[in-house]
């Protein structure tokens, strides 16, 4: 009989092959996990899992926040919020050399805070900002590269659907994860803007200087941003202040975006139906992937592969930080092949037990832990680092989903130019990872303040 660990490695290899053959990730995980459980424990257990697993997974209260935030993003994409954000940011930054690209980054951050999705952020802001960048004769590389990179902000700046899914997988507090993501998210915006400033300093013709807005235009553009700030403040401010937990906060956000859209006259029956259909499709996809990931998790835990990996790493005497770096490098490589949500669902249930074991187990404290922090703090710190390197997969070949989205909008710019354009932002992201690795307090300080 095949050794269980060998069977687990074979299952992972089959999963990779199925994904390479373009089988949807959810179906691939359900097939491999289901066959694996059947081989290990027999068909009776597998049928028993199918009987109860889906209900057990999808009836989790915390998971109800996902369709609400997805709907919030779908409505926001149809209400004109993106245009208002870009006009406001451009009024403040457009007069600088490269300022319109900087405004696109700021607008991506603002829209990501409402939409919670990187692909939605890249697609929506690309439609809004690309015409302006072309009008000011920005180079194709900088114009498309900045928008593709700006889109990745949607995955980390709260509320983020992927961040919520990570919290559910590792049983972390969603509010705590939102708090932990805030400073790294703001840091990304600052680094991206500085990257554009350096880019246009080296290549001045890539990002011409725009004209300053007159006083009336500046006032109108600034006032247009206020609804976004109000929605963001009420949703996240209410969560941080403890007025409500994320699920009712998401419902409040949906209501506010809907009211904004109705007042603007941009949410008639047609757009509402489109938003609801988009929400149903996206949520169904997420839930199906969750089911597949849970089957894979059961399969892997029953053959003991995560524990065997942890034991092997412990026996190798690798330093905890070395293990962390290796896992983050693996996530970057996997990000070239898988989309962000699939990677989080597939890999985190495998990586997290390894880190937890190295840190001294579930009950490790800051005094006894291998990373010098409690397991709860490690869960938060690793989650933010993991999401940042997962972001990189959205702008790296061969998948680079954000690059494909922007290239579809900018048909006159070769895709190779877009990949050249995102390269400086990739370097900025690696610098951000280095900062967060060197200074965990950048991630852990705000959650500590809010919990204290």
Cα–Cα distance for residue pair 436/452, rounded to 1 Å: 22
Q: With b meaning 16 or more CB within 10 Å and e meaning fewer, what string describes 359-384?
A: bbeeebeeeebbbebbbbbbbbbbbb
The predicted model gives 9-16 an average pLDDT of 85
Residue 238 contacts residue 249 (beta carbons within 8 Å) = yes
Q: Is the pLDDT of residue 1 over 60?
A: no
The predicted model gives 223-248 an average pLDDT of 86
Q: What are the sequence ranges of the domains in the chain?
A: 1-59+284-303, 62-281
Phi, psi of 373 (to 5 degrees): -150, 165
**Quick one: pLDDT at residue 56?**
78
Question: Token digits for 337?
Answer: 């092949």
**Quick one: pLDDT at residue 367?**
63
* pTM of the predicted structure, to 2 decimals: 0.87
Q: Is the pLDDT of residue 363 over 60?
A: no
The predicted model gives 174-191 an average pLDDT of 92
Residue 169 contacts residue 349 (beta carbons within 8 Å) = yes
CB half-sphere exposure, 273, CA atoms < 13 A = 3
Cα–Cα distance for residue pair 49/54, rounded to 1 Å: 8
pLDDT per position as a tens digit, 113-155: 777 677 778 888 888 888 888 888 899 899 999 999 998 887 7
The predicted model gives 422-447 an average pLDDT of 94
Q: What percent of the chain has pLDDT over 70?
A: 96
Q: Within 10 Å of residue 435's Cβ, how many Cβ atoms?
A: 13
Cα–Cα distance for residue pair 123/135, rounded to 1 Å: 19
The predicted model gives 176-187 an average pLDDT of 92
Round the average pLDDT of the chain to a whole number and report it. 85
Terminal Cα distance for the chain, rounded: 54
Bridge partners, residue 209, by sequence: 97
Q: What percent of the chain has pLDDT over 90?
A: 22
Cα–Cα distance for residue pair 94/162, rounded to 1 Å: 32
* Peptide bond before residue 408 is cis, with ω within 30 degrees of 0: no
**Quick one: pLDDT at residue 378?**
93
Cα–Cα distance for residue pair 252/257, rounded to 1 Å: 9
Question: Which residues neighbour 272 within 8 Å (Cβ) at sequence distance 6 or greater?
Answer: 75
Question: Token digits for 167?
Answer: 């919290």
Least confidently predicted of 20-29, 181-190, 198-207, 217-226:
20-29
* Peptide bond before residue 157 is cis, with ω within 30 degrees of 0: no
pLDDT per position as a tens digit, 365-410: 666 667 888 889 999 999 999 999 988 888 887 667 788 888 888 8
């Amino acid at each position: 009989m095949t050794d269980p660990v060998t069977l687990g490695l074979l299952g992972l290899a089959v999963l990779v092959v199925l994904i390479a053959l373009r089988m949807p990730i959810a179906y691939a995980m359900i097939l491999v996990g289901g066959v694996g459980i059947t081989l290990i424990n027999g068909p009776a257990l597998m049928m028993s899992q199918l009987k109860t697993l889906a209900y057990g997974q999808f009836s989790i209260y915390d998971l109800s926040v996902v369709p609400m935030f997805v709907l919030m993003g779908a409505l926001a994409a149809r209400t004109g919020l993106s245009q208002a954000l870009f006009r406001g940011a451009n009024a403040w930054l457009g007069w600088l050399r490269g300022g319109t690209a900087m405004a696109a980054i700021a607008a991506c951050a603002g829209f990501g805070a409402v939409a919670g999705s990187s692909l939605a952020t890249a697609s929506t802001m690309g439609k809004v900002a690309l015409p302006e960048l072309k009008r000011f004769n920005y180079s194709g590389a900088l114009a498309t590269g900045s928008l593709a990179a700006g889109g990745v902000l949607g995955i980390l700046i709260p509320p983020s659907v992927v961040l919520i899914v990570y919290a559910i997988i590792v049983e972390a507090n969603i509010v705590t994860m939102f708090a932990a993501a805030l400073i790294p998210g703001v840091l990304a915006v600052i680094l991206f803007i500085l990257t554009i400033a350096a880019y246009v300093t080296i290549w001045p013709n890539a990002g011409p200087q725009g004209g300053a807005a007159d006083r009336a235009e500046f006032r109108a553009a600034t006032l247009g941003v206020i609804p976004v700030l109000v929605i963001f403040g009420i949703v996240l401010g209410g969560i941080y202040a403890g007025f409500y937990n994320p699920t009712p906060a998401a419902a409040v956000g949906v209501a506010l975006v809907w009211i904004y859209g109705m007042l603007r006259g941009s949410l008639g029956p047609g757009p509402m139906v489109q938003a609801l259909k988009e929400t149903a499709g996206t949520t169904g996809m997420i839930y199906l992937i969750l089911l597949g990931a849970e089957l894979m998790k059961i399969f892997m835990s029953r053959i003991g592969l995560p524990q065997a990996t942890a034991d092997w790493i412990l026996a190798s005497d690798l330093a905890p930080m070395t293990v962390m770096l290796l896992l983050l490098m693996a996530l970057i490589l996997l990000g070239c092949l898988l989309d962000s949500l699939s990677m989080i669902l597939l890999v985190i249930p495998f990586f997290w037990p390894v880190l937890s074991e190295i840190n001294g187990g579930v009950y490790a404290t800051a005094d006894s832990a291998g990373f010098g922090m409690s397991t709860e703090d490690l869960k938060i710190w690793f989650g933010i680092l993991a999401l940042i390197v997962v972001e990189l997969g959205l702008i790296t070949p061969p998948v680079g989903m954000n690059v494909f989205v922007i290239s579809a909008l900018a048909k006159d710019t070769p895709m190779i130019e877009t990949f050249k354009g995102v390269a400086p932002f990739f370097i900025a992201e690696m610098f951000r990872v280095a900062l967060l690795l060197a200074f965990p307090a950048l991630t852990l300080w705000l959650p500590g303040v809010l919990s204290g």
